[in-house]
Amino acid sequence: MKISTPGRICFFGEHQDYLGLPVIAAAISRRISIDGGFRNDDKIVLHLPDLGQKEEFSLNDTFPYVVQRDYFRSTINVLKRKGLMFSKGFECVIHGNIPINSGTSSSSALIVSWAHFLDKMSDNPVGFSQKELGETANAAEVLEFGEPGGMMDHYSTAIGNVIYLESTPAIHVEALTPTLGTFVLGDSLEAKDTLGILARCRYGMEDVIRKVTAFDPGFSIFTTPYEQFEDYKNLLTADELSLLKANLEDRDILIEGKALLTQSINSPVNEALDKHFGNLLYKHYKNLRDHKRTSTPKIERMMNAALSAGALGGKINGSGGGGCMFVYAPTRAEEVAKAIEKEGGKSYIITVDSGTRIEN
């Protein structure tokens, strides 16, 4: 049995899902696969040649967890609680070509693949839907260890293509199938500064919301018009006002982006739509760079080089402070990829891809 699952990029709503705002994300044509079969004992043997690692444990030895983020064991435990049973062990080989620790959800793709594989190989397969596999992976990665994290990574890798995800007031996932061309993913090869970025973008913005709401109980991050930020100039520092403006504008960029992507569903390739889409991505990027400060000088050089080579727009991807960026390059992908490499990045030409699937 071979299962593969894609990584993902975030089009719109970066650093907004933890504020309760929606996101639009896309699965990409870089994937992680698990290929394996039954053993004649209760051992789980996992070969990870890309990392030069091997993991081995017993089906009867899945708790307590023995390492931090013990996702292989936690996924089995989550599925056992859902009623799945396992009487035989497995031996698997895990391969992937998603950049690791770069903001493209390699860990979520791995866990979705593992949950999908375990369901198919259990004594009593349920046949979980892609959405349910995303929820299972989120439970194994986030809920099981009490970690912060939304559902974007797990839903987008499991369901695939492009999804619109709301988390407030309730989880709502909408699958989109826009007509989109080629992207180029650029790995800066710089380590991400996830904690530092979150301190500013999440906790800093949560403080701003509390401060503004105390002053104006009618304020809502969901509905207050962008222009109303002027009302809070005397209340907030310049830095706090910068964050507020960026989040209100990014919220509106997503709304415009969703309308555009919905418009392009089942439509032929349209140069005007492509340019509009690229412009929206770059508008979002400028807020991330200038106000949320998630970019780096190297990523900025990679972005400028890509735009000069013909990309229509793009943004930094994931938590930031390093990691990956991507650009939309439906006509000049090869030139754009070379331009990114000249600035010291590692480039990958990618397209939007399907979700977790069984490979023949």
The residue-averaged pLDDT of 191-200 equals: 84
**Is 358 within the bounds of a domain?**
no
The answer to whether residues 171 and 258 belong to one domain is: no
- The per-residue pLDDT for 249 is 98
Is the per-residue pLDDT at 266 higher than 90?
Answer: no
Looking at the structure, tell me whether residues 71 and 193 fall in a common domain. Answer: no
Residues 125 and 225 in one domain: no
Q: Does a structural domain hold residue 97?
A: yes
* Residues 150, 234 within the same domain: no
Q: Is the pLDDT of residue 140 over 70?
A: yes
State pLDDT tens for residues 70-110: 999 999 999 999 999 999 999 999 999 999 888 899 999 99
Q: Considering 178, 212, 240, which residue would you say is the last residue of a domain? A: 178
Give residue 67's pLDDT band: very low, low, confident or very high (50, 70, 90): confident
Q: What pLDDT does 267 receive?
A: 61
Number of domains in the chain: 2
**Domain extent at residue 45:** 2-178
Q: Same domain, yes or no, for 262 and 202?
A: yes
Percent of the chain with pLDDT over 90: 84
Beta strands in the chain (DSSP E): 2-12, 23-38, 43-48, 53-58, 90-96, 162-166, 172-176, 183-187, 313-317, 324-328, 346-350, 357-358
Q: Report the CATH number that the domain containing residue 213 is assigned in CATH.
A: 3.30.70.890
Give yes or no for residue 160 having a pLDDT over 70: yes
Within a domain: 324 = yes
231 and 160 part of one domain: no
pLDDT for 165 beyond 80: yes
Average pLDDT over the chain, rounded to an integer? 94
Confidence of residue 66 (pLDDT cuts 50, 70, 90): confident
Is the same domain home to 16 and 155?
yes
356 belongs to a structural domain: no
Return the pLDDT at 156.
Answer: 96
**Residue 166 in domain:** yes
Least confident window among 21-25, 55-59, 117-121, 266-270: 266-270
Q: Write down the pTM of the prediction.
A: 0.94
Confidence of residue 265 (pLDDT cuts 50, 70, 90): low
Eight-class DSSP state of 191: P
Predicted local distance difference test score (pLDDT) of residue 272? 86
Q: Are residues 127 and 191 in the same domain?
A: no
pLDDT greater than 90 at residue 7: yes
> Is the pLDDT at 268 greater than 90, yes or no?
no
Whether residue 340 is found in the same domain as residue 213: yes
pLDDT at 299: 97
Is 41 in the same domain as 97? yes
Q: What number of residues does the chain have?
A: 360
Give one DSSP letter per residue of 281-338, joined into a string.
HHHHHHHHHHTS----HHHHHHHHHHHHTT--EEEEESS-SSSEEEEE-SS-HHHHHH
Whether 296 is in a domain gets the answer yes
239 and 140 belong to one structural domain: no
d(CA 29, CA 281): 19
* Alpha-carbon span 281 to 191, nearest angstrom: 23
Residue 136 domain-assigned?
yes
Domain-terminating residue out of 163, 178, 193:
178
Domain boundary among 147, 178, 209: 178
Q: How many CB atoms lie within 10 A of CB 226?
A: 14
CB 313 within 8 A of CB 328: yes
319 falls in which pLDDT band (50, 70, 90)? Answer: confident
Question: Would you say residue 355 lies in a domain?
Answer: no
For residues 143 and 257, membership in a common domain is answered with no
Give the pLDDT mean for 336-360: 97
Out of 73-82, 172-181, 223-232, 327-336, which region has the weakest mean confidence (pLDDT)?
Answer: 172-181
